């Protein structure tokens, strides 16, 4: 346990940031699962709606530093390919 006041504050700040990052990652994973579920159902209308929301969530995660920009681009590319394979 830290003894210096600034070190104690740093521990608290790091805990808060870790909790925020964990919540954001969890929300991203949930959104990805919702898109996967819509794709697996084969529902094109629902999949289109979830695709837009998921792309936005991935972009926001990349902007916040939760995902590397190339990882985000790779995920969006794979989602687009899966969406385009669904019948119209």
| Per-residue pLDDT, 34 | 97
Of the pLDDT bands very low, low, confident and very high (cuts 50, 70, 90), residue 88 is: confident
**Nearest partner of 56 among 42, 84, 38, 75, judged by Cα:** 75
- Residues 7, 85: Cα–Cα separation, whole Å: 53
Q: Are 18 and 39 in contact (CB under 8 A)?
A: no
Instruction: Tell me the per-residue pLDDT of 28-83, one tens digit each, with 9 for 90 and over.
Output: 999 999 999 999 999 999 999 999 999 999 999 999 999 999 999 999 999 999 99
Domain segments of the chain as ranges: 5-85
Q: Does pLDDT of 1 surpass 90?
A: no
CATH superfamily of 5-85: Ribosomal protein S20 (1.20.58.110)
**More confident: 87 or 76:** 76
Spatial CB neighbours of 39, under 8 Å, sequence gap ≥ 6: 47, 82, 83, 86
């Amino acid at each position: 346990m830290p003894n210096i006041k600034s070190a104690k504050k740093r521990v608290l700040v790091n805990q808060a940031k870790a909790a925020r990052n964990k919540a954001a990652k969890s929300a991203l994973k949930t959104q990805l699962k919702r898109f996967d579920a819509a794709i697996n159902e084969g529902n094109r209308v629902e999949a289109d709606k979830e695709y837009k929301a998921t792309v936005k969530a991935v972009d926001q995660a990349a902007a916040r530093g939760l995902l590397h920009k190339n990882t985000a681009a790779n995920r969006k590319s794979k989602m687009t390919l899966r969406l385009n394979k669904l019948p119209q």
